[in-house]
Chain A
Amino acid sequence: MRDPELNNSQLLQAASEGTTLVVPRFASTSYVHVTDGYLSFPSLKDPRHSYHYKTRNSMWVSEVSLLHFSLPNSSQFDIPNNLTTRWRHKFTSVRCSSRSDGQSARTRKSYYELLGVSVDSKPQEIKEAYRKLQKKYHPDVAGQKGHEYSLMLNEAYRVLAREDLRREYDASIGKMTVGFGGIFSGMGYSSWKGPLRPQALFVDENECIGNTFVMDDALGCARVKVQYGDDDKKIEVSVDSCPVNCIHWVDREELAILEFLIQPQPKEGYGVFGGGWERPANVFMAAKAFNKQLKQQADHHQRNASRTVEEETPAQAEARANASMKIKKERLSRIWNWVQEFSGSNKANKE
């Protein structure tokens, strides 16, 4: 029947309707659309929204974080219960299975993940990864069942292969992370159950399992699901008793970035289809670098945003209209997903 994650994607859809957030003239990116787990970042300039940037920031961030930080619900674990042995059991069994699920791949992956390349990979690597995957999953090779994968690959490649589109896409990832440094709005992977406080709990997954287990397929890992999920004492016990010292108290502001960065970036070609995954070796160092990058981007946004006060010319208006057409085109099919859902549920009913 339904993918259990669909609630999130519905939320995403709802969120996306209202949050065509605009940061005008920033690398010509102005819109980010989130549709059913897909991000598309066409260029569209709409000065009317220029200054909604800040006011919508929180919503923006939450929308994005839903996409980027939620992992399969089924595989989340509760931090306090019986510590490591139990965790390990959980990740290996549940995580991997939910990862290899095609539908979850469809609704969750960034284009980079889909192609199994890192965010900083060179065009050549992207090309190679795309070809490698197509050779395996193109319908000519894999039959009709390769259709959906092939579509996704084409879309991801279309964006990442073109410098301008990729820049927009990257910028949008950057954009959504701009919020992290600012107002903390509860995004990130873990949720807050209780008042915000300066310290947050974070599991360095590399430390926790990376040295102990080698996961063959996807990301077996531990993480914090709920801040304040248990009383302090219990948590403290967990932190202290972790044999590999992987649970940390961190600054609240850093949490989202850390949780973002600790997510494995797939490597070596086969991304969602089973291959290596890569995390920063030292997530704390990576967070520092990332923060710096975000700050630069945020400055850039501000600088560029201030240029967009001028009136729109008719030509610009037309360009905008065309761009909005493009944006609609570039959204991957919601309707198709619906149909899949319906036909899927029909099938399930029959069975």
Chain B
Amino acid sequence: MSNAGMAEQAYTVASDSETTGEEKISSAFPEIAIGIDIGTSQCSVAVWNGTQVELLKNTRNQKMMRSYVTFKDEIPSGAAIFNMKRLIGRVDTDPVVHASKSLPFLVHTMNIGVRPLIAALVNNVWRATTPEEVLAIFLVELRTMAEEQLKRPIRNVVLTVPVSFNRFQLTRIERACAMAGLHVLRLMPEPTAVALLYAQQQQQTIHENMGSGNEKVALIFNMGAGYCDVAITATAGGIAQIKALSGTTMGGEDILQNLMNHLMPNSESFFFNHGINDIKSIGLLRVAAQDAIHKLSYQTSVQVEVDLGNGLKISKVVSRVEFEELNHDVFEKCRSLIIQCLRDAKVEVEDVSDVILVGGCSHIPMIRNIVKDICKGKEIYAGMNSLEAAVTGAALEGAVASGISDPFGNLDLLTIQATPLSIGIRADGNNVVHIINRNTTIPARKELVFTTAHDNQTEALIVVYEGEGKKVEENHLLGFFKITRIPPLPKGVPEVNVCMDIDASNVLRVLVGVVLPGNKQLLTPFMEVRMPTVDDGHGWCAEAIHRTHGSTLDLVPLWKKVME
């Protein structure tokens, strides 16, 4: 995730073969990173073509491609795997994984905190795969497509990701990219990519009007099939400054499942069998429900007629009011996300200049109503294609971060990101003490001092968590490491400095050093650990640590020193 070609080399390989170093340096022209938006259900590729952003079309002349990989041609047959963005980086205790069991392919869970087993039906065999693998296959397709059209090898990409992705999930996306031979230049939260596009549009408008370049605050609401994100951005002079982000795993998929359950109340248990015919039935029901949702965006009721086979027929009229009641919780969650984001950004609704709605769900009338309602009737910003905005922003970021400049100033842009989730360490028993709070502008660096919990404690465990909860269970484990060589002293005396640093490409490094009392110098060497370090099965780690070490390696925040 480092800046390609910009960062100094962190290490050198002993045998200095030609593979070391960045190949980019030799090239006279910087490679333009392409932007990819892998949505839960659709994806797209865009690139800066020298004058503007262009969306690439596949051989079927589509700009939007469905995000599925089929291991056999026929759909829906169990061979098509999709919704991988909802499953990537999740363990089998995650409710989102469990909710995915009604999808027309196999999702097996053991409920022990490991990755779930996902399998596609190929020639009557459930063939296991992983979300990373599926995404990688897909990314290879996109890459090939882009390479053919751009007539050059593609290596660097800017990908959009949901705001609510934790760092472990981000590493999985990176891994999928690596499997596809792609180097991730930036992972951009989706609404921030939209914010960058907005910044560009505003700048162009100002150029035309010769305006003064006043700051404009925009609220961006993005809801796709899998995730819902909100961002508040302050824009001036081509800079998108992200003031706050909020997001959750909720999207069109949830709306779809609610409707499917409504159309066929026993569908979930019915489909758990995963017989071949059942799978086919799920597939048909999904298609019918999707169709109904689309229609309900512009008509007040819809007649659903579907033959699921095996004598199962569904014939129901669904009104928009009914549909809205079914998804009441989803819509309320949207509302609370927007309100939270405004609050976090310390922005009053009156100060919002533009309200931008993007994503596949942005046409649902109820969602537009909610957003309008919160924003006191403000009209929705019309200058953006709701499905193309994120990928366009990603392509812009790709060009900017690749060091491309545009003589007309169309790339005179910058995104100043904020980190969407708080990061802290376990301290004071089972609590998480946050060191970097959510919505901190990055690059960010914060430090906090801790001390030992026991007398003569010579080692301490730094357990890093991400999330907003006060207790460790409510947060996501990122990794852990041990500090040794603490001088044996009464508890509360040694100072353990914990410093966290997030760079512009969102790499988190945790740096820990011990200060000897009386001597204001740090005991060397320090520890520097790039997070996350945990891998699959990380759900176990925290528990295993606790079982093995109890509280012997605990830390507590050092209040006392501050008071002195």
Interface residues of A, Cβ cutoff 8 Å to B: 10, 13-14, 17-18, 20, 31, 44, 46, 48, 124, 127-128, 131-132, 134-135, 138-141, 143-147, 150-151, 154, 157-158, 162, 321, 324-325, 327-336, 338-339, 342
Interchain CB contact (< 8 A) of A139 among B3, B397, B561: B3
B557 nearest in chain A by CB position: A325
- Complex Cα spacing A53 to B66, Å: 68
Are A339 and B504 within 8 A (Cβ)?
no
Whole-angstrom CA separation of A329 from B450 in the bound complex: 11
- Confirm or deny: B414 has a beta carbon within 8 angstroms of a beta carbon on chain A: yes
Q: Report yes or no: A143 in contact with B433, Cβ–Cβ below 8 A.
A: no
| A18 x B239 contact (CB < 8 A) | no
- Contact residues of A: prevailing secondary structure: helix
Chain B residues near A336 (CB, 8 Å)?
445, 447, 499, 501, 511
Residues from chain B with Cβ under 8 Å of A31 in the complex: 562
Residue among B236, B433, B443, B447 making CB contact with A335, cutoff 8 Å: B447
Residues of B contacting A138 in the complex (Cβ-Cβ under 8 angstroms): 414, 416, 504
Q: Is the CB of B504 within 8 A of A140?
A: yes
A142 (CB) vs chain B CBs: closest residue: B6
What 10 new A-B contacts, CB under 8 Å, besides A140-B400, A336-B501? A46-B563, A124-B215, A135-B238, A135-B239, A144-B6, A144-B503, A151-B443, A325-B433, A329-B446, A338-B526
- Given A140-B400, A147-B504, decide whether A325 and B559 contact each other with a Cβ distance below 8 A: yes
In Å, the complex CA distance between A27 and B157 comes to 48
Q: Which of B236, B400, B447 contacts A328 (CB 8 A)?
A: B447
**Cβ-neighbour of A325 out of B448, B497, B501, B511 (below 8 A):** B448
Q: Are B521 and A338 in contact (CB under 8 A)?
A: yes
B449 at the interface (CB under 8 A from A): yes
Give per-residue flags for B130-161: 1 if the beta carbon is below 8 A from chain A beta carbons, else 0.
Answer: 00000000000000000000000000000000
Contact A327 B504 (CB under 8 A): no
**Bound complex: CA A324 to CA B447 (Å):** 13
Once A140-B401, A144-B503, A325-B448 are accepted as A-B contacts, the answer to whether A135 and B497 lie under 8 Å apart by CB is no
Q: Which 5 pairs between the two chains have the least Cβ-Cβ distance?
A: A143-B6, A139-B504, A324-B562, A335-B497, A333-B447
Other-chain contact of A329, B416, B448, B564 (Cβ < 8 Å): B448
B388 → A minimal CB distance (Å)? 22
Between A and B, 12 residue pairs with Cβ closer than 8 Å are A20-B562, A20-B564, A131-B237, A135-B237, A140-B397, A147-B503, A151-B445, A324-B562, A328-B558, A332-B445, A333-B445, A336-B499
**Interface range for B:** 35 or more
Query: What's the nearest-Cβ distance from chain A to residue B313, in Å?
Result: 56
Question: Counting CB contacts under 8 A, is B513 at the interface?
Answer: yes
**A331–B447 touching, CB < 8 Å:** yes
Query: A332 to B557, Cβ gap below 8 A?
Result: no
Q: Does B504 lie within 8 Å of A334, measured CB to CB? A: no
Q: Which residues on B sit within 8 Å (CB–CB) of A145?
A: 6
* Neighbouring B residues of A140 by C-beta, 8 Å: 397, 400-401, 414-415, 504
Q: Answer yes or no: B64 CB below 8 A from chain A CBs.
A: no
Q: Given A140-B414, A144-B8, A325-B433, check contact A335 B504 (CB 8 Å).
A: no
Is there contact, CB below 8 Å, between A13 and B520?
Answer: yes
| A131 contact set on B, CB distance < 8 A | 236-237, 239, 241
State in angstroms the CA–CA spacing of A174 and B342 once bound together: 33
CB distance from A48 to the nearest CB of B (A): 8
Q: How far is the CA of A14 from the CA of B241 in the complex (A)?
A: 37
Alpha-carbon separation in the docked complex, A162 to B401 (Å) = 29
Taking a contact as CB atoms under 8 Å apart, the answer to whether A139 and B563 are in contact is no
Of all chain B residues, the one with the shortest Cβ separation from A136 is: B414
